[in-house]
Structure 1
């Protein structure tokens, strides 16, 4: 056993599209701050089948530095979704741009 996380991934294209729209809407409605960062903030965000954000991970240094300017910490669902590690998740790349735009890509 190498100890890697064996969480199943959602790969159904229609489900991924639906979850991407839900995630975008969820983040967009919660993102109220005006950006002070000057580079894109890039994150990997894991989403459960019901659209709940279970986890996020910064992929670049600005993303680490400016986490408080994103709504991601406030949107994390409590442990009842993350405790079921066998539940499949969808992983998305989420980009917060300095001009105030948001991108969500499977």
Structure 2
């Protein structure tokens, strides 16, 4: 049987906030599963479970450019004792919103 593995993430986060990535299996793991993401983060799914999460920092405030999107995908998945584990190639996308910085200028004469 084929077991699917998908990745989801926090939809929207402010610059410098936290993004939660969740890996979800279509069948419970027979042994622990290690999921490595394209950003280097690792999600562990316990034996008998179908999900695991990891929290990473969103990009910090950049005063010279507006925020954007963060796309992360599954690089590798090992373990689980599955017949056929098929990781999704669809990336998890998070919109990072810009935090407005106020600049103050004072002139004296």
**Higher percent of residues as helix:** 1
**Higher percent of residues as strand:** 2
Larger Rg belongs to: 2
| TM norm structure 1 | 0.28
| TM norm structure 2 | 0.28
